[in-house]
Every structure is written in C-alpha cells, then in structure tokens.
Amino acid sequence: MTLPATASNEQRVTSNESPHRALGLTDAEYERICELLEREPNDLELAMFSLLWSEHCAYKHSRKLLRQLPTEGERVLMGPGENAGAVALGNGQAAVFKVESHNHPSAVEPFQGAATGVGGILRDVFALGARPIAVLDSLRFGELDSERSRFLLDGAVRGIGHYGNSIGVPTVGGEIYFEAPYESNCLVNAMCVGLARSDRMLRSAAAGIGNPVVLIGASTGRDGIGGASVLASAELEEGEEKRPSVQIGDPFEESKLLECCLELLDRGLLVALQDLGAAGLTSSAGEMASAGGVGIDIDVSRVPLREEGMEPFEIMISESQERMLAVVEPADLEPVLATCERWQTGAAAIGEVTGSGRIRVLRDSEPVGDLPVEALVDGCPLYDLDPEPPRSWTYGNRATLGGDATAAETLAALLASPNVASKRWAFEQYDSIVGSRTVRRPENADAAVLDVPEAGGAIAVAIDGNGRRVACDPYLGTVEAVLECAANLACGGAEPLGLTNCLNFGNPEKPLAAWQLERAIAGLVDACERLGVPVVGGNVSLYNEGPDGPIYPTPVVGMVGELPDASRAPGSAFAQEGDAIALAGPFAPSLAGSELAKLRGDLDLGLPQTDLAALAAALAALREAVRAGSVASAHDVSDGGLACALAECAIGAGLGCRVDLDPLVEKRGVSGETALFGEGPGGFVLSGEQRALQELASSDLPLLVIGEVGGEQVAIEAAEQSLSVPLAGAERAWRSLASRVEDS
C-alpha cells in the first residue's frame, strides 16, 4: 500500500525513511502510539494517527495557550469544541459563526483552495442547523508587482466568488492586504455567519448505541488525500507537487446538501451531524465518538466511491468535499435516506454507534483497523513552546515613497497603496445582496449590516487583522485587531456578542514564531476580557512559511454584533454638504508600523501603548450615540491614518471637506505629519449637525470638531503640514488598483 507523504520542519522525506516519519510523525510520537495501542499500528491505523495527530487537527503547539481564552458569556449558546460558535439573538434565534483558514491549499491551487475554503466554512455552520446568511473573507498576498501574487490573487478571488455566488450566500465583507512576507504563503481565511432557532441547534456528539451512521453528500474520491498533514501541518517548499492534495469543490452539490440537511434537522430526524473536513471520515467519526463518549464502526465497503480500487486508508482520510456524517435512530433511517434521494444527494448507512469506545474500520465486515477513540483524538502529546523575542526587525524593508514627498503627494500615494485603495474590483465579483438581508455592504459602511427580522433586529459582522502591526508588536498588534473589529461594529451601532479568530503564524518550533504566537494570544485574551467579548470558536493555522521565511504573524478576528434597527445604521461616507466633521475617541496617532512607514521602508519593532479601559469606554459611548441617531456618518481611522479616513468619507459622498487638525496636534503633542498619517486605535470620523456632535463629547468619548463637509477639495491643515487635493484626483488614486490589477 502506498501512503501519503509529508514532512515536518526537521524531518524530510527520503526513499528509505520510516513510514511514520514520511507521514509527519516524530519518533517519540510513534513510540507513544505504540504504547497507547500496546502494539505497532498497521498502515491504515498509522495513516489515521498521522492526520489526527497533525498540527492542523491536534493543535499540539497551541492548545495549551488557547485554554486561556475567555469563552463564557450570557449570550453564548455554543462555544469552542463544536463545529461553530453560537450566540443568542432575540425571539429564540441564534447567530452561528466561525472563521477558518485554507492557506496552504490556496497557495498550491488558489481557485479550488479558496472555493473549498468557503464550502468548508459553510458546512461548519449548517452542521449546527443554521442557514448560512453571509460570508466574509480575509486575504493576504505578496506585493502586487509579483507575478505569483497576482496569479494567487486572481484565483482566490474567482474561487470565492464562484462558490459563494453559486450557492446563493452573499459575501458581505472582508479585507485584502499585500505584503512581501506573504509571497510564498498566501492567507485565505473565510468566515460564515448563519441563523438558527436556538432550541433546534444540533451538536456533533454521537449518541445511541446501535444507531446507524450515515454518510450524506458527494461520493468519495482521492482528491484531498493527506491535505491536513501534507499542506496544513508543514512548511511549503519549492518544487513539491502537491496539487493532488487540494480538494475540489462543487457548490451546486453543496447547495443540495445544505437544503437536505436543514430539512432533516427541521424534521428532527438527526441525532448528530458533523462536517467532513480535514482528515475526512477519520476526523469526523473520531470527533463525534469522542464528544459522545462512544465508539463507531465504519465499513468502508459501504462508502459510495467515485473511483475504483480505493484502499481503506484512502477512503478513511479522503477530504472529498460536500460530505456530512450523521447519526440517526434506526426508525428514522428510511425517512432520512428517502429525503436525501428527493434532494438528489447521496446517502448511505456506513456504520453504527457502539459502546466500545473504539473506532473500528471494516471492509466487507472484516476488521482492517481498530483504535481507541481516546488515543486517536485526545492522545496526541501537547508541546510547550520555546519562545524568544527578536532583537531587531527581521522582515526587511522596501521603500516606494521618498521622504521628500509633499503632504498632497503622500496622501495620493497612500490612497493608491494596495492596502488602502478600493477593493471594489474584487468584491464586485461577489454577490453581496442575495438573500435580501444586506443593509450595509462593502464600501458602504465599516461593518456589514444584515437585517434579521426573525430576531426583531439586525446584526453587524466584520473581520479584521493587520499582520504588519502584529509583527511590530504581537501583543499590541493583536489588541488592535480586536479593537478594530469592535470599532467597525460600533460605527454601525452594534454591540459585540461573540468573537471568532483565525491565528495564522509561522513554524511554532522556531523561537520567533513561538514568541509571536504566545504574545498574540495574550493580547487576544486581554482585549476580549476588557471588552467583555467571549471567544466562541476559531482556527489555528501554523507552519505558514516558505523558502523566503515566515509570514507576518496574522491573527484575524471576526465579530458578530447586535443592533436594534438596521435602518439607523449610518454609512461611512459624509451625508450632506454643510455638516460638521468631528474627530471622536482617544486617538493618539503614531507613524510606527503605519502604512506610511511601510511605503518609506521605515518599519521596525514597537507600537505605542494603548489604554484598553479608555478605548472600551469610547466604543460603548460611540455605539450609543449611533443608536440615538446623533451622527449622520461614522468611519473609524485605520490604514493610512486620519487623512485617508477623511478622503474615504469624501469620496464615498462625492463631497469635499475642509479640515483643521491643529487641535489634534496641540492635544496630542504630535507633528502635523503624524496627525495626518499616523495610525492607532480609538479614532472616529463623525459627521452631522454641529450641536448634536458637540453634545456627544464626554470623558468617555472625547471629541473635537475639526471641519465641515463641502466643496470639491479634500483640504486639510495640520500645523507645519497642509494639503489640498481635488476630490476627483483623490478618487482616481483610490480607485487605481483596479486598472493595475487588470493591466497586469
């Protein structure tokens, strides 16, 4: 039998290498497996262990740290350990959501990697009985002048659009960053939000001795074999052919599967339901058995196949898409199979729940593998990290903007920067309004707003992260990612109910990545505790390294918040000529780690300290002001600083602005340049009637009236700096990315 091969950072595959090493297991891990089994595993069992003990499935370098995360909250209905997290809304409704990565598959085959990333996160959500109502994506690529990066960008964006549009779930938000450290290893993180009745949600735990185990969905093939270990648990290397490890998606098959599963759940015909993702049947059966404290028998001869001659190990670890594993009661088996037939989705009873506490793999009723569930799922050793902070900036710098550029030239360069410029060319490939819930969509507001009349209100959703700033300071950069996401929700008047995260880092066996991961999780813990936002689930993606080194450490944060009335959520663009413009919040700008520092090739370690208590209070005050209808527009200060935020508000409205930042310069003791282009959390550009804005000022929400909406220029004074850019020119720079992508 030929086994799938992988390699860890320290152990490379050779022709005479031990089978366990070829599968990514260390000698110590193999010895541990033999101790747990009290014998040597056969080839099938070894393949199953290699996947469930891989980094992607076992979280063996991060699980100890993840235990620190705050997961409790009065609105939390389901937390970590389930297919997705869930928080309570009104009227017995629940928001179900999760974010996951599909980084390494997308670096190998971007279209299918990104498409199946969307398919997988959709299944995680409807596995709980929730109907998916929104998708968001967070993408990272190398610099845009790289041919490889443009190839990956094009494929990933098309893959996301293909799957989401075909299945009829709107893509309502996201982000795209371009930084050199992602050149060899792009990041594709997908988030899904669903809506469910809280009393009808289903857990994944198998139950009921003798209950049939039913495989629902597409037939099983060889695509994706070894994906969890080959791609997601090892560094990418040049010259390795790994396309066969990338799954192939079919959104039309998934659409039928989704509707079929939701009907089965609505009719109460399922005891448990689990997505088949990484490691396929091995993972789904093992996790269901572990969660229920039972055993499961799987007969591979009953599994519907689309390829002849598949070996038992191939069937058990195949990652073919659009499949779910269900547990049903014997009396419900025929109705389940009949419902699947009506939806034209495959279904077969392939096993049963047992009281053995073991996963048994049979072929034509003859055992070919027999493993204790506890050993397979929970027996993997967990490792302590060996962190060491860097002594200097290790990612390199490349200057694209001279230090002698004028303020107007600097603003134009920042607006045209791929990280700041409009991504409309990308999100226009996505259907953002299918389903008729979308009230605020990309470039219309800082967070997507979705109407949820079933719950008597609305929700806002956002996804955020900035790997460059986390590389400057992993703790503070991660705190800022949480604050940025909460700020986007606050601009729509939404209160965060729960958080999901995707932690994208390099090789945890190396001191730098270990330190970054440890400090980032500490920042995530502190920020969530201060804001009172529970972590309900997430994903860890490690070994994101290529021949040129690791990615920026990139924790991506997704949040779901609640607001009472979607119609009162303001947009980010100025509303009308003559409105006053105010800067609200405890904003303390700095050029450290900023987009301008990147353009000047001036990146280094360190970010300014943040006052979490003050920032949390400001977010709460802003949220209440928005809900009260006191502001006509709200936009947080982010990439490119205050000048870029003002320009974006003006471009969105087709109205210029006249602004004086001298009060900020005096209050914060910063230069005019820093006031214009400095970054940091806690800054909000508000517009509206001047008296109403001034009445918002408080100790929790400091506020400066800085200008007025109107004219055809973006005109800003800031101490020694001043600029006046025609609105048409600012918009031309901001929208220039589309032509650069198309021309390349």
CA distance 295 to 360: 8
As beta bridge partners, residue 358 has: 372
Q: How far apart are CA 34 and CA 523, in angstroms?
A: 39
Tell me the C-alpha distance between 358 and 154, whole Å. 45
In whole angstroms, how far apart are CA 680 and each of 585, 588, 740? 11, 6, 29
What is the spatial distance between Cα 609 and Cα 604, in angstroms, rounded to a whole number? 15
Give the Å distances, CA to CA, from 430 to 161, 166, 608: 5, 10, 37
The encoded tokens of residue 232 equal 């997601």
Active site residues: 56, 102
Contact in structure between 278 and 227 (CB atoms under 8 Å)? yes
Residue 717 · residue 660 · CB < 8 Å = yes
129 Cβ neighbours under 8 A, 6+ residues apart: 196, 197, 200, 201, 202, 262, 265, 266, 273
Burial 385-408 (b: 16+ CB within 10 A, else e): bebeeeeeeebeeeeebeeeeebb
Query: Could you tell me if 169 and 416 are in contact, meaning their C-beta atoms sit under 8 angstroms apart?
Result: no
**CB–CB of 377/332 below 8 Å?**
no
Helix (H) or strand (E) holding 740: helix 737-743
- In angstroms, how far is the first alpha carbon of the chain from the final one? 46
Query: Residue 722 forms beta bridges with which residues?
Result: 717
Closest by Cα among 242, 279, 112, 113 to 187: 113
The 657-660 sheet, strands edge to edge: 633-636, 684-688, 580-584, 703-709, 657-660, 713-718, 721-726
Q: How far apart are CA 302 and CA 316, in angstroms?
A: 12
Q: Dihedral sign, CA of 416, 418, 419, 423? A: positive
Q: Which two tokens stand for residue 230?
A: 């080959």
Strand duo 85-88 + 171-178: pairing: unpaired
Exposed, middle or buried: residue 72 (CB in 10 Å: 0-12, 13-18, 19+)? exposed
Is 572 in contact with 648 (CB distance < 8 Å)? yes
Half-sphere exposure at residue 390, Cβ-oriented, CA atoms within 13 angstroms: 15
AA identity, residue 123: R
Q: Which residue, 718, 694, 712, 735, is CA-closest to 657? A: 712
- At residue 50, φ and ψ (nearest 5 deg) are -60, -35
